[in-house]
């Protein structure tokens, strides 16, 4: 089998995918789409967080798939490891070296691993043992990670075998074999003898004044005398070399030569004995080869998942909901690459809320240039591609994503010099492909839809394309300046206009996406802001159809009014929230004060009762006569105790009646929730608050509610129907 095919199968195994599902990519997710969305930059970031070559190769080839089990498994396993890191669960640091070479040697009979190879196997086995121990008993908390262990179990035999041969520094122990122990003892004896003989020769030459300033050195791993070249013939020994200038000759004394020769023989014996020991050790652990392979697969798999976790932590990403129906619901979503770049600069990024579903599947975004339209469009595509690649994304956890079979993009100015295509020709060719590929499971992302040709003719053709793609049932996000596209979107029941808001007072973009109405391009306002002569702007307006100028002005005015209304609503909600907080604080303080007052009254009453009981008891004591009959006294005591018991029972009954009445009053004053009346479009409020919102969607026992510009998912039991 070719090596490349083996690598692909290894990657598939390392990500819990079969080779078939591991390559099930999306239609239309071609190199141009990858470039348009910036998905290759995500791959580069992911690769940078990998520790091993296998994981890096997997990161370079990551791509979205529409195979739901694969996506769900990847998202959940990544989120589990993210939780382990964030929530402080005990889990080892995933630092290791791959052992693919060692596995190949283990499969060759009679082979021997190197010292470094055994250290890598030992490191991996220890790490896997720690991982198995950390996940033991946590099947319910981390089911995906636990299932990844498969047949991998804790193995102490491999560790014991290797540690018996190697010391903590990775050297072969003296007692690894009796022969090695004897050889090393002989080597120590020879070294001591060499040192004694060398020191004797050193003292003699020093006394004669034959040595250079440095006196001695090492050459070819042997101690040598540094003799001044003028005296070299006076020293008995073998010249092994000279200094660069030739002024010093390095001589091995004759007395040391024979012992050094014997030492070299012992070193050779040591090497041969170590090879024999390593071959024998290799043979002993060869039976564990299937487990060592499984350990390698597990560690590579975890290295890749850890890279995804590191990327997620860098962008505060989380696991969104993966839904079976086709839907995109983005809550507090950020463009991943924009978020990372702005965070490095310390600049804020405006989060976006956006929902596409079967009843509202085509979004047409308009608004001024540099207002964030293209960023919003790319954000949708990149987030969708990342989710379908098993990557966590920077959105609110209540966000939801369906799975698309195709992601089709036409973004930016893509002229083809090689094929001599203009921008418009290129876009027409790409649109031709979309018309043949797009279907109900497709997500279209079209930036500056219809531009590149005559505005009127290009706009008419773009409108026809829009209608054709709409008829195919596709989902899509489209940015445009064409009024006919905006108008056509209002006429289609499953399409909606959106606009990037613009602060008309400061003539600056807010980078906030608002759904429900088209946006003005603010062409003349921006021109005026940039210092264009008002007379020229006036002349330009006269050249246009007055109705078009009036319509654009009306849209701009409407946007201003909506922005003002949004500010007022937000201010009102904040004030209402502050008032609610103040009221709750007052009620809590009043309740505590009332409890304290009641406690003081109870203490005072108890003290008075105790005093009266004490006086009564003293009276009984005073009446008691020692050595005499006290029948009358005992009868009075019994009557007193009977009366006190009746009073105690009466007080308990009164307290119970009081509590029951308070409960009835609290229940009668508590507003009815009328949960059965809550439907899409209803106005509701939180059970413990006054802020009102609109119900956008209901799934099971949870509803999506918009409180002003903020959308969230809430349990129906926590809502109160208003109207």
Of 283-297, 379-393, 522-536, give the lowest mean pLDDT range.
522-536
pLDDT digits (tens, 9 = 90+) for 698-707: 888 888 887 7
Highest mean pLDDT among 259-263, 646-650, 671-675: 259-263
Most confident of 268-272, 451-455, 513-517, 702-706: 268-272
- Give the pLDDT of residue 113: 94
Among 64-73, 158-167, 560-569, 650-659, the range scoring the smallest mean pLDDT is 560-569
Least confident of 38-47, 207-216, 288-297, 302-311: 207-216
Number of residues that this document lists for the chain: 723
Q: Write out pLDDT tens, residues 584-605.
A: 778 778 778 877 887 778 788 7
Structure tokens at 472: 């195919």
Q: Report whether pLDDT(615) > 90.
A: no
Which of the four pLDDT bands, split at 50, 70 and 90, describes residue 427?
confident
Q: What is the pLDDT of residue 22?
A: 44
Q: What is the pLDDT of residue 447?
A: 86
Cα(482)–Cα(342) distance, rounded to whole angstroms?
31
Q: How many whole angstroms separate alpha carbon 230 and alpha carbon 295?
A: 65
The answer to whether 308 touches 46, Cβ cutoff 8 Å, is yes
Banded model confidence at residue 3, pLDDT cuts 50, 70, 90: very low
**Tell me, what's the pLDDT at 545?**
56
pLDDT exceeds cutoff 80 at 624: no
| Res. 19: pLDDT tops 50 | no
On average, the pLDDT of the chain sits at: 82
Instruction: State the Cα–Cα distance between residues 223 and 216, nearest whole angstrom.
Output: 7
Torsion angle (degrees, nearest 10) of CA 16, 22, 27, 33: 80
Cβ neighbours for 568, distance < 8 A, ≥ 6 positions apart: none
pLDDT the model gives residue 531: 72
Question: Does residue 454 have a pLDDT over 60?
Answer: no
Query: What Å distances lie between residue 78 and 140, 313, 416, 590, 709, CA to CA?
Result: 16, 11, 40, 49, 31
- Residue 378 pLDDT greater than 50, yes or no: yes
Identify whether the C-beta of residue 509 lies closer than 8 Å to the C-beta of residue 496. Answer: no
The structural domains of the chain, ordered by start, are 3-25+42-171+284-314 (1.10.1420), 176-272 (1.10.1420), 321-521 (3.40.50.300), 571-670 (no CATH), 671-723 (2.30.30.30)
**Distance between CA atoms of 12 and 21, rounded to whole angstroms?**
8
**Stretch 569-591: mean pLDDT:** 70
With cut-offs at 50, 70 and 90, classify the pLDDT of residue 12.
very low
Lowest pLDDT segment from 34-38, 46-50, 74-78, 226-230: 226-230
Question: 34-43, 129-138, 604-613 — which is least confidently predicted?
Answer: 604-613
Query: Of the given ranges (201-210, 285-294, 573-582), which has the lowest mean pLDDT?
Result: 573-582
Q: Residue 2's pLDDT band (boundaries 50, 70, 90)?
A: very low
* H/E stretch holding 213: strand 211-219
Decide: helix, strand or coil at residue 83.
helix
Helix (H, G, I), strand (E, B) or coil at 353: strand
Higher pLDDT, 574 or 337: 337
Q: Can you tell me the mean pLDDT for 697-720?
A: 78
More reliable by pLDDT, 654 or 554: 654
Beta carbons of 697 and 683 less than 8 angstroms apart: no
Q: Does 223 or 640 have the greater pLDDT score?
A: 223
Mean pLDDT confidence for 671-678: 74
C-beta separation of 76 from 84 below 8 A: no
More confident residue, 301 or 524: 301
pLDDT above 90 covers a percentage of the chain that reads 38
Residue 453's pLDDT is 58
22-34 pLDDT per residue, tens: 445 687 788 888 9
CA distances from 337 to 349, 444, 513, 679, 720 (A): 11, 20, 18, 38, 40
> What is residue 137's three-state secondary structure?
coil
Report pLDDT for 21. Answer: 40
Q: Which residues contact 75 (CB under 8 A, 6 or more apart)?
A: 319, 322, 387, 390, 392
**What confidence tens digit (pLDDT) does each residue in 185-194 have?**
999 999 999 8
For the stretch 275-305, pLDDT in tens is: 999 999 999 999 999 999 999 999 999 999 9
Across 310-314, 433-437, 621-625, least confident range = 621-625
Q: In the structure encoding, which two tokens stand for residue 142, read together?
A: 């981390």
Q: Is the dihedral of CA 79, 82, 83, 86 positive or negative?
A: negative
For 93-117, the pLDDT digits (tens) are 999 999 999 999 999 988 999 999 9
Q: At 251, is the pLDDT very low, low, confident or very high (cuts 50, 70, 90)?
A: confident
Task: State the Cα–Cα distance between residues 166 and 161, nearest whole angstrom.
Answer: 9
Edge-to-edge strands of the sheet including 248-253? 211-219, 222-228, 248-253, 237-242
């Amino acid at each position: 089998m070719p090596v490349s095919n083996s690598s692909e199968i290894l990657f598939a195994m390392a990500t819990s995918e079969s080779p078939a599902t591991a390559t099930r990519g999306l239609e239309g997710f071609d190199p141009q789409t990858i470039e348009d969305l910036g998905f290759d930059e995500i791959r580069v970031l992911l690769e940078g967080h990998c520790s091993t070559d296998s994981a890096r190769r997997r990161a370079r080839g990551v791509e979205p798939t529409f195979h739901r089990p694969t996506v769900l498994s990847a998202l959940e396993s990544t989120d589990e490891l993210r939780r382990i890191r964030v929530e402080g669960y005990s889990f080892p640091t995933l630092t290791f070296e791959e052992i693919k070479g060692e596995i190949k040697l283990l499969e060759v009979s009679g082979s021997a691993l190197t010292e470094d190879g055994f250290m890598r196997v030992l490191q991996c086995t220890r790490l896997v043992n720690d991982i198995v121990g950390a996940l033991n008993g946590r099947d319910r908390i981390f089911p995906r990670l636990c299932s990844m262990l498969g047949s991998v179990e804790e193995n102490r035999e491999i560790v014991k075998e290797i540690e018996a041969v190697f010391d903590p520094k990775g050297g072969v122990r003296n007692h690894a074999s009796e022969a090695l122990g004897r050889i090393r003892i002989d080597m120590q004896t020879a070294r001591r003898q060499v040192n004694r003989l060398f020191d004797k020769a050193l003292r003699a030459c020093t006394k004669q004044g034959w040595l250079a300033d440095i006196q001695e050195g090492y050459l070819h791993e042997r101690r040598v005398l540094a003799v001044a070249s003028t005296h070299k013939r006076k020293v008995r020994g073998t010249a092994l070399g000279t200094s660069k200038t030739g002024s010093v000759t390095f001589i091995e004394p004759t007395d040391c030569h024979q012992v050094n020769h014997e030492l070299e023989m012992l070193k050779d014996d040591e090497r041969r004995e170590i090879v024999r020991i390593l071959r024998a050790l290799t043979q002993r652990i060869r039976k564990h080869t299937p487990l060592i392979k499984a350990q390698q697969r597990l560690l590579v798999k975890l290295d890749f998942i850890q890279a995804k976790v590191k990327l997620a932590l860098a962008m505060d990403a989380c696991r969104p909901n993966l839904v079976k129906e086709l839907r995109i619901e983005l809550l507090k979503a950020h463009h991943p690459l924009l978020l990372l770049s702005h965070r490095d600069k310390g600049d804020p990024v405006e989060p976006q809320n956006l929902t596409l579903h079967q009843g509202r599947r085509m979004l047409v975004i308009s608004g001024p240039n540099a207002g964030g339209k293209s960023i919003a469009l790319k954000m949708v595509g990149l987030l969708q591609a990342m989710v379908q690649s098993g990557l966590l994304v920077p959105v609110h956890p209540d966000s939801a994503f369906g799975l698309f079979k195709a992601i089709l993009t036409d973004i930016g100015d893509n002229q083809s010099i090689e094929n001599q295509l203009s921008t418009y020709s290129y876009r027409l060719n790409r649109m031709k492909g979309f018309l043949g590929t797009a279907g109900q499971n497709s997500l279209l992302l079209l930036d500056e839809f219809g531009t590149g040709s005559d505005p009127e003719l290009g706009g008419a053709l773009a409108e026809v394309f829009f209608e054709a793609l709409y008829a195919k049932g596709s989902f899509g996000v489209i940015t445009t300046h064409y009024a006919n596209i905006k108008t056509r979107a209002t006429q289609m029941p499953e399409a909606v206009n959106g606009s990037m808001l613009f602060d008309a007072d400061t003539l600056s973009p807010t980078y906030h996406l608002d759904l429900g109405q088209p946006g003005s391009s603010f062409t003349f306002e921006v021109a005026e802001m940039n210092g264009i002569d008002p007379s020229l702007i006036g002349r330009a307006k006269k050249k246009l159809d007055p109705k078009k100028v009036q319509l654009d002005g009306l849209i701009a005015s409407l946007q201003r009014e909506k922005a003002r209304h949004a500010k007022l609503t937000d201010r009102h909600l904040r004030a209402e929230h502050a008032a609610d907080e103040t009221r709750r604080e007052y009620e809590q303080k009043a309740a505590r004060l009332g409890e304290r007052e009641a406690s003081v009254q109870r203490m005072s009453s108890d003290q008075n009762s105790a005093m009266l009981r004490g006086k009564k008891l003293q009276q009984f004591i005073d009446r008691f006569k020692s050595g005499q009959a006290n029948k009358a006294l005992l009868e009075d005591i019994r009557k007193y105790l009977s009366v006190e018991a009746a009073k105690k029972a009466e007080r308990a009954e009164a307290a119970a009646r009081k509590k029951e009445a308070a409960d009835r009053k609290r229940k009668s004053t508590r507003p009815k929730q009328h949960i059965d009346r809550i439907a899409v479009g209803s106005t509701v409020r939180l059970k413990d608050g006054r802020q009102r919102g609109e119900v956008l969607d209901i799934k099971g026992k949870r509803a999506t509610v918009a409180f002003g510009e903020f959308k969230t998912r809430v349990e129906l039991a926590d809502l109160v129907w208003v109207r």
